[in-house]
Structure 1
Amino acid sequence: MKNNQILKYIILPLLILSSCTIKEEPPLADKDLIYQDVTAKKAVLDGVYALMIDFPAYKQGYHDTKQTHSGILNSKQSAQRTTFGSLNMDPTFSGLDNSWNSYYSAVFRLNQFLYDVPLTEESTDSERDLIGNAHFLRAFQYFHIVRSWGDVPLVTSPTSEETIHNAKSSKSDVYKQIIADLNVAIDNMSEAGIAPGYPSVHAAEFLLAKVYMWIASAEDSGEEEMLISGIPFETDTTTNVELTYWQSAKAHADKVYGMYSLVPNYNTLFDAKEGNQTSESIFELNFNSEVAQVSYTAIFTPNNYTKGLNNYGRIVVNPEVYTKHINTHPTDPRFINNYLSEYIGYARDQATGEVVESQWPTVMRIHTENRLTLRENQVGSGYGNLTKHIIKDRDQTTLDSPQGFIIYRYADLLLMLAEIENELGNSSQGEVYLNEVLERARNSAETPSFEPEGVNGLSQEELRERIYNEREFELIGEGEDWYEARRRGFAFFTSHVIEPHNNFIYFNENIDVLFNTTRKGMLLPIPLNEITNNQKMTSADQNFGY
């Protein structure tokens, strides 16, 4: 009975949807029973992680919205490719509702948890760790929300019928809350994490460095729409000197350096057996058949790639991205693991009903003149699949996979440090960090490759460009593509994403769609249901272009 009550609290304090406006019901069971010990409190917090691997989030919804609207990846489905795949997201798209609701559902649960389990002088170390974890997760949710939508409702207390409708807060206020949450997380999370596989205090330091990088990049863009005003500067506790945003990013990233390590072989990172919770993983979500009968891998795996013949396989890599990588590093060992460009698929024998190997290989014509001959019904042949996320067991007949989704890993930290040092005028030190990533890439083949070559003596602008490209090559499809493409402002997004796509040498109007060239693609639209049902929002609150 006790366990059922706890489970009921995790799964059911769920969401009443007044169309799309979310509210949480009051707790459904006695508070003292729910929070009777540390194990029970952890079980409640685990409910937030359960939301994050659910359908609207990292199981599918995140990828359908963020990945295919990134400008880096796209969709084989015509309806998706011609709307958000072309940077023309529809405010009525159900997946947008799901995404918005998923983030705020997690926020509302965390608000309730932090209200019910306050930090006090009597809090034990285990309780402090849980509370710090909750602050980390709330910061994580809001960091996604504010970067995706800009000015948004900021809710930090339990939600009731009386407080369900919330006006938008400025993105500056949201960033202040994110920073405050992460500082509480850093003060209370442990180095080991609340249990194996959970984020540690180093993950909070990592995320705070990423937050300051975003603020610094927005300031450097010189674009008014990007600016985040009023964020207080940190002070160096040793020298009592005020830090710039880039210096704050460095201060927090430096604390993470050396706390993790690159795995020797890049290509094992995404193996369903060897790739979970490695020495490189900073923050990772675990998928298994017990909690996720359909894994996120199903939407990246081509339909006929496994013997189940039932994968969704719709998320693919835009051809100019694939082409840039192969033209830059033709023998990069990461290339094989990143992109699927040819394979022998499976088919069902019409006479016997058995699943057998196809007579002909599936060949993607991505970066040659042959792409220009493809017709509308051959769209799948014009794009590469992202190998790192596909189901690895080709004998499999189900849609589940034990492969975890790595949200943040150490290579990202090294690339962050490379950029931070470069922006602070320390290009030579930036090259040191970048070379760590490139060296691992070279050594990720049976016979070490000469590519990607290390860097030495680049100018600040040359290194800035190289870091951007290497971040794309290393981390493509791992969830930060949408943000990294936009972090430096609209001019950068136009020159590095929109124009290379629209001017791609093998652009085929039968299978490709032009990207929208206005600022519209810099933010997602607020779901129309939210504007309609939230009494403190009007159509004037909608983002530009929608």
Structure 2
Amino acid sequence: MLVSLLIVSSCSDSFIEVEPRGTELEDNYYRNAEEALAGLVAVYDQVGGMSNGLINKFIATNSASDDHYAGGGSANDVTGIQVWSNYTLDPATGPQGDLWNRGYSGIFRANSILGHLPDVDMDDNLRARYVAEAKFLRAYFYFDLVRFFENIPLIISSDLGDFKNIPQVDPSEVYTQVIEDLIAAIPDLPATVPVATEGGRATEGAARALLGKVYLWQEDFAKAAEQFAEVNGTPGGTSQFGYSLLPNFGDLWIFSNKHHSESIFSVNHTSEGQWGDWGCIACAEGNWLNIMINPRGYTAIDASAPDYVSGWSFNPVTPSLEAAMTGDPRYSETIADLQTMEDNGLVTYEKGYQNTGFFIEKFTSRQENVATGGNMEGNFEQNLYDIRLADTYLLEAEALVRDGSNTARAQALLDAVRARVGLASTPATFETIKAERRLELAGEGHRWFDLVRWGDAATVLASRGFVAGKHEILPIPLFETQDTAIEQNLEYGGTK
């Protein structure tokens, strides 16, 4: 039930590297600023959101896109993403339970701290910042939920009352709340944070970037472009928030390279907790993609071969993406061509389910990335970008082109992304921007959302089983519709 997923406390420390760290949510806990920070950290803890079933929004949406298959060891390996990858999901089977729980757990935690902060004995300016961060995070979770499910309950209080009768609302009400939260948060969020102690916490730039994404999803192009322009500044330069494109595309994927000038909002990972409990996968603070997407049964035969950690072969790259990236300067940093390595006698690897020979190089782990202490699998430290500057450059360019305004700026934004990897200018059109997003952001969890937002999913994913007017959203988890007021989405046999 909804309440069972909301009233939880995490068994892990925070994904965000701030002190003190903790995730206690007891009603009598918020006595001072230190405890308020611990409660706030508990909200951030849900951003990482890997479930005990090895599902988070990155691995799941990759599986549903045309750039990846689910992969793994068999057709039954992490069933929730397999059925989304081939569009055979139903209310009982799919990733929806994990994604729903992650979102509402984060929202409950945000509501809890928002309810307590007015009474905490603390500095008023610090209180205002914590309120702003909690509202940013609540908006972040609701934006994911409304895109995934469309018809959802809108809960903005920690007092659930008669939880079984909490109704769904029109999606427009959710978007209104998301926008209100972000607009309210912006004035009290810092422009920058000290990376060493607060890297990964919400900033004004992150809130504006998220607000721009919300407006773009609603096709309010002028407002979207306005927010993105605040974030992006002069194309190719350094923005008011200190954002700039890294000179070297490959540096984005160095595990230790965190909270740099291109990172706007990221999912933080660490090995500090030395995770080792297979009974609580969700307790790990590390990045599970770093083991899940690596080639299965990998052995380097030649000294020149990469020293990849042997992994589980999820999210293999499709031939479609590999063909699109062939000849692009980002290829070698995006795709690992294991089949060619094996053909050349450099490596051997086990051919996992839906093997194509191509893997996501961006997130491959090597022996040097293996942490000491705990179990290797749940302790990789690479952060995941939820929002980075190249993403917002291309989103602003899209908004400007679709709005028919300031196409010169749209051109400059597109050119800056391409120039970083040595590519010449190409006319900034809706289609060229779409193509650039696919190549620049491959494997980073954006493609499925983009296809749905553009109205291209039914065509591009037809061969995978995607049905127009149905698969743009997920079914409500079956258990949420049993003995509650929550109704199943019409597309999946319900009445909503």
Q: TM-score range by the shorter chain?
A: 0.7 to 0.9
Distance in 1, matches of 2:453 and 2:413, equals 21
SS across alignment from 2:152: coil
70, 79, 100: which is aligned to 2:65? 70
Distance in 2, matches of 1:359 and 1:305, equals 13
Aligned to 1:498: 461
Unaligned segments of structure 2, at least 5 residues: 10-23, 233-238, 274-283, 300-306
Aligned to 1:324: 324
Distance in 2, matches of 1:75 and 1:454, equals 35
Cα pair distance change 1:303/1:431, threshold 3 Å: same
Distance in 1, matches of 2:54 and 2:8, equals 25
The amino acid across from 2:485 in the alignment is K
- Whether 1:537 aligns to 2:486 is yes
Deviation at 1:50, TM superposition (A): 1.8
Distance in 2, matches of 1:479 and 1:395, equals 22
In the comparison of the two structures, how many residue pairs are matched?
A: 439
What's the CA shift string for 1:335-382, capped at 9, x where partnerless?
101111127999xxxxxxxxxxx9663589xxxxxxxxxxxx775542
SS across alignment from 2:185: helix
31, 36, 40: which is aligned to 2:31? 36
Distance in 2, matches of 1:23 and 1:390, equals 34
Deviation at 1:299, TM superposition (A): 1.2
**8 Å contact 1:56–1:62 — kept in the other structure?**
no
The amino acid across from 2:477 in the alignment is P
Cα pair distance change 1:246/1:115, threshold 3 Å: same
Deviation at 1:176, TM superposition (A): 0.3
SS across alignment from 2:69: strand
The amino acid across from 1:179 in the alignment is I
Distance in 2, matches of 1:73 and 1:65, equals 10
- Whether 1:411 aligns to 2:390 is yes
Distance in 2, matches of 1:310 and 1:391, equals 9
327, 334, 337: which is aligned to 2:333? 337
Deviation at 1:140, TM superposition (A): 0.4
The amino acid across from 2:64 in the alignment is H
What's the TM-score, normalizing by structure 2? 0.80
What's the CA shift string for 1:14-73, capped at 9, x where partnerless?
xxx57x853427997463xx2233232111111122223243299743234322123332
Aligned to 2:364: 390
Deviation at 1:139, TM superposition (A): 0.4
**8 Å contact 2:335–2:358 — kept in the other structure?**
yes
Distance in 1, matches of 2:403 and 2:53, equals 35
The amino acid across from 2:333 in the alignment is N
20, 31, 47: which is aligned to 1:52? 47
**8 Å contact 2:295–2:311 — kept in the other structure?**
yes
Q: Give the alignment of 1:438-517 within 5 angstroms.
A: 438-442=418-422, 452-456=423-427, 463-489=429-455, 492-495=456-459, 497-498=460-461, 502=463, 514-517=464-467
Distance in 2, matches of 1:395 and 1:188, equals 37
The amino acid across from 1:254 in the alignment is A
Distance in 2, matches of 1:78 and 1:64, equals 16
Aligned to 1:314: 314
**8 Å contact 1:59–1:295 — kept in the other structure?**
no
250, 256, 266: which is aligned to 2:225? 250
Aligned to 2:255: 272
Distance in 2, matches of 1:288 and 1:380, equals 30
**8 Å contact 1:60–1:299 — kept in the other structure?**
no
Cα pair distance change 1:49/1:28, threshold 3 Å: closer
Q: Give the alignment of 1:165-180 within 5 angstroms.
A: 165-180=165-180
Q: Give the alignment of 1:351-366 within 5 angstroms.
A: 361-362=347-348
Deviation at 1:545, TM superposition (A): 6.5
Structure 1 stretches of at least 4 aligned residues deviating more than 6 Å after TM superposition: 25-28, 306-309, 343-346
Aligned to 1:525: 475
Distance in 1, matches of 2:447 and 2:222, equals 24
Deviation at 1:279, TM superposition (A): 0.7
Q: Give the alignment of 1:169-248 within 5 angstroms.
A: 169-193=169-193, 195-216=198-219, 245-248=220-223
**8 Å contact 1:415–1:434 — kept in the other structure?**
yes
**8 Å contact 2:63–2:82 — kept in the other structure?**
no
**8 Å contact 2:292–2:313 — kept in the other structure?**
yes
Deviation at 1:169, TM superposition (A): 0.6
- Whether 1:298 aligns to 2:291 is yes
**8 Å contact 2:308–2:366 — kept in the other structure?**
no
Distance in 2, matches of 1:482 and 1:57, equals 23
**8 Å contact 1:344–1:361 — kept in the other structure?**
no
Distance in 2, matches of 1:119 and 1:247, equals 39
Aligned to 2:277: none
Distance in 2, matches of 1:93 and 1:454, equals 45
Aligned to 1:242: none
SS across alignment from 1:385: strand
Aligned to 2:266: 284
Indicate the larger mover: 417-426 or 305-314.
305-314
Distance in 2, matches of 1:519 and 1:57, equals 31
Deviation at 1:477, TM superposition (A): 1.7
SS across alignment from 2:38: helix
C-alpha root-mean-square deviation of aligned residues, in Å?
3.1
Distance in 2, matches of 1:58 and 1:249, equals 35
The amino acid across from 1:455 in the alignment is T
SS across alignment from 1:256: helix
Cα pair distance change 1:415/1:359, threshold 3 Å: closer
Distance in 2, matches of 1:345 and 1:303, equals 14
Distance in 1, matches of 2:493 and 2:452, equals 16
**8 Å contact 1:318–1:383 — kept in the other structure?**
no
Greater Rg, structure 1 or structure 2? 1
Aligned to 1:433: 413
Deviation at 1:78, TM superposition (A): 1.8
Aligned to 2:126: 126
**8 Å contact 1:526–1:543 — kept in the other structure?**
no
Cα pair distance change 1:520/1:362, threshold 3 Å: farther
Distance in 2, matches of 1:395 and 1:277, equals 18
Deviation at 1:526, TM superposition (A): 0.8
The amino acid across from 1:361 in the alignment is V
Aligned to 1:14: none
Unaligned segments of structure 1, at least 5 residues: 1-16, 217-244, 347-357, 365-376, 443-451, 503-513
Deviation at 1:162, TM superposition (A): 2.4
